A and B are shown apart, each in its own frame.
Chain A
Amino acid sequence: MSIDTSTAGRVAKLARIKVEDDALPALAAEFNNILGFIEQLNEVDVDGVEPMTSVTPQRLKRRVDVVSDGSQQQAVLKNSPDAREGFFAVPKVME
C-alpha cells in the first residue's frame, strides 16, 4: 500500500497537525518507509486468532455509581492558556 501526498495531507488533517504543502512529499515518503516495515505482518497467519484486548487476563473493576470526586474548578482551570469566568476560552467555533 502506498501513500501519496494527498493521503498524507488527509492524515495530517485527521491528526489535527498543520503540515505545509511543500512538506507533504517528504512526509508521504516517511509514511511509506514505516508502513513498508509494518507490511511484514502480512506474512503471519492470523486466521482464528483473537485480537488482544488485555495483556493480563483481568476483569475491569467496578465501583458503586456515585460521585467520588469533584468541585475542583480552580484546579482544573489552573493550567489553561486561556481561562475566563470559570470556563476554558477558545476561538469562535461557529459563525
Chain B
Amino acid sequence: MTDLNTLGLAEARDALRAGSTTSKELTEACLKAIEGAGALNAFVHHTPEIAMEQAAAADARIAEGDAPAMCGLPIGIKDLFCTKGVPSQAGSRILEGFLPEYESTVSGNLLGSGAVMLGKLNMDEFAMGSSNETSVYGNAINPWKVDERQLTPGGSSGGSAAAVAADLCLAATGTDTGGSIRQPAAFTGTVGIKPTYGRCSRWGVVAFASSLDQAGPMTKSVRDAAIMLETMCGYDPKDSTSADLAVPNFEALMTGNIRGKKIGLPKEYRMDGMPAEIDKLWADGADMLRDAGAEIVDISLPHTKYALPAYYVIAPAEASSNLARYDGVRYGHRATLDAGDGITEMYEKTRAEGFGPEVQRRVMIGTYVLSAGFYDAYYNRARRVRTLIKKDFEDVFAAGVDAILTPATPSSAFGLGEMTDVDPVQMYLNDVFTVTVNMAGLPGISVPVGLDSKGLPMGLQLIGRPWEEGDLLSSAYALEKAAGFIAKPTKWW
C-alpha cells in the first residue's frame, strides 16, 4: 500500500470517507515522515500531541457522518499564522517565546473543519525573503537535489513548500506578499495559489505589508488547492479588508474545460537574460492550453517593469509601520539593558537584537520613503504607479482575456548561499513575475509543468480575474492535466 503521507488531500479525503483509512493512520504516517526529515529543517515547531488529539476527534466526526472536506487531513501551518498556545514566531528572534492567546482566522477555519495540525513551518523572517535564508531557525532545504549542493526551497514559504514536496504533510498553508507562495511552489514542483486580495482573512496572520499580504494553500495538486482554499476563505469581520462574498465550491468549478477561453501571453514578461529553458517551458505551456481548446493571444502589460521597484517602496513602507509594534513591551524579546538606559535605548537595542539584517534593511527603507520630504517622491509615486499596474490588468481583462500565462520564476531553484554575496536587489528579482499580481490584488497560481536539464522542477503561473479563483483553478487544472508532471524528489534526507 502507498505510504499514507504521500497522498494528496483529495485522495486522503476520499479514503477517509470510504472508511479505508483513518485520520489517526494518516497523521501517524506524517509524524513518522517528519521525524525522519530533520535535515530539511521544514518543521520548526512540532505538535504531535495536538495532532493525535485532533486526529482522534476527526475520526469521531467522520464516524458520525459530520465530515467537512478537510476533516482528518494532516497539514502544516506556516509560522506566520498565530496558533493558540503554539509558538508563532514569524521566523524571527523578536517573537521568541511568543505563545498567542488566539487563533488566526485562517488556521481556525482549517482546524474548525477538522484539519489536523502537525506543527509550524519554517519561513523567511517576517516573510521577507525569496530563499528561506533569513529565518531565525536556519535555512529550510529543498528536497530536490541534483548534485552535492543544497538548494533553496524558495521563500518566504520555504518550509511549507519543502514539507509538501517531501510528503511530510498532505498540504500546508502559505502566505504571499510578492510571490511567497508561488515562487517556492515552482522551486519544489508543488502547486500554490494566492487568492484575490480579501478572500482570506488576514486576522491573526503576522502582518508584513497589509495591502499585499494574502494567505493561500500549498498542495500536491490543483484539486487539492481548490479543496483547501475553500476552507481557508470566507468573510471575517475582524479583517476590515475581508471580502463579504460567498465562497463558491471551487472544486466543483474546476472542470478543466477551457474550450474557447482566451489566455494572454504578456510580451513584457519576456525578460532579457531569461534562461532558454524557462522561455521554452512558457511556449510549451501555451501550446498545451491551445491544444486543450483555448485561444492564445499576445497581450501587453506596459507597466510590468515598474512593479518590482514600486513594490520595494510600498512593501517596506507598510512593513516599517506594521513592525513598529515589536518594541519589547508587549511580547517577545526584550534586550538586556545597561544601567541608565531609558525607554528609547530599550526600543533600539531590542529591535537591533531581535530583527535580522534583511528585516532591518526593509524597515529602514520603509522609514526613509515615508519620512518628511520623501513621502511624495517615493511613497505617493509608487502608489500612483500601482494604480497604473492594476489598470494594465483591467484593460486586458476588459478586452476579453480570461487568464494570463507567465513563467512563475526567472530560474529553477538555486543553491543555498549562492545569493549571499550579491546585492539584495538581485535577490528581489526572483519575484519579478509574481509581484505584479499582488500589486493588482489578483489571484495567481503556480503549477509545476516540467523539469529543466538539471532535473529540477519549473512552474508556470496563471493569473485570473478578481474573485474568479474557480475559473483560474479550472485553467490550472487543464494545464496540470496536459503537463502530466509526476516527478518527485529522490529521498536523500
Contact = CB atoms under 8 A, between A and B. Distances in A.
A91 B243 CA distance: 42
A17 B355 contact: yes
A92 B339 CA distance: 11
B330 A61 contact: no
A93 B211 contact: no
A33 B424 contact: yes
B198 A38 contact: no
A37 B312 contact: yes
Interface string A30-42: 1101110111111
27 contacts: A15-B320, A16-B348, A31-B364, A33-B423, A35-B365, A39-B309, A41-B309, A44-B303, A46-B381, A46-B384, A46-B385, A51-B384, A52-B383, A54-B241, A55-B197, A55-B211, A56-B196, A56-B241, A58-B241, A76-B330, A78-B99, A79-B331, A81-B328, A81-B329, A81-B334, A91-B342, A91-B343
A67 interface: no
B309 A63 contact: no
Interface string B297-323: 000000101101110110000001000
A41 B310 contact: yes
Interface in A71-92: 72, 75-76, 78-82, 88, 90-92
Query: Is chain A's binding surface mostly helix, strand, loop or mixed?
Result: loop
A31 B368 contact: yes
B240 interface: yes
A11 B241 CA distance: 31
A20 B385 CA distance: 36
A55 B424 contact: no
Interface residues of A, number: 51
Contacts, number: 168
A57 B328 CA distance: 37
B363 interface: yes
Nearest to A81: B334
Interface of B: 97-102, 196-198, 211, 237, 240-241, 243-244, 303, 305-306, 308-310, 312-313, 320, 324, 327-334, 337, 341-349, 351-352, 355, 360-361, 363-365, 367-369, 371, 377-378, 380-388, 390, 423-425, 428, 439-441, 466
Nearest first, the 9 A-B pairs at minimum CB distance are: A55-B441, A51-B383, A79-B331, A18-B348, A81-B334, A46-B384, A18-B352, A75-B101, A16-B347
A14 interface: yes
A17 B320 CA distance: 11
B390 A52 contact: yes
Interface of A: 1, 3, 11-19, 27, 30-31, 33-35, 37-44, 46, 49-56, 58, 60-61, 63, 72, 75-76, 78-82, 88, 90-93
A80 B352 CA distance: 19
Nearest to B359: A17
Given A49-B384, A81-B333, A37 B364 contact: no
A35 to B, nearest CB: 8
B342 A93 contact: yes
Contacts of B327: 16
Given A15-B364, A51-B384, A79-B101, A58 B343 contact: no
A29 to B, nearest CB: 9
B410 to A, nearest CB: 16
A90 B346 contact: yes
A92 B211 CA distance: 36
Contacts of B337: 91
B101 A78 contact: yes
Contacts of A1: 377
A88 B309 contact: no
Contacts of A63: 237
Contacts of A14: 367, 371
A75 B102 CA distance: 9
Given A37-B425, A46-B381, 15 more contacts: A11-B368, A16-B327, A16-B348, A17-B348, A30-B424, A34-B361, A37-B428, A44-B303, A44-B306, A46-B388, A53-B383, A54-B241, A56-B198, A92-B343, A93-B343
Contacts of B308: 37
A64 to B, nearest CB: 12
A15 B387 contact: no
B329 A88 contact: yes
Nearest to A50: B387
Given A41-B313, A46-B385, A51 B380 contact: yes
B101 A16 contact: no
A17 B352 contact: yes
Contact of B388 (A18, A37, A44, A92): A44
Contacts of A13: 348
Contact of A91 (B324, B346, B351): B346
Contacts of A51: 380, 383-384, 386-387
A41 B385 contact: yes
A11 B344 CA distance: 15
Contacts of A91: 337, 341-343, 345-346
A38 B196 contact: no
A71 to B, nearest CB: 13
B197 A56 contact: yes
Contact of A40 (B211, B305, B328, B368): B305
A91 B352 CA distance: 18
Contact of B330 (A41, A42, A80): A80
B368 A18 contact: no
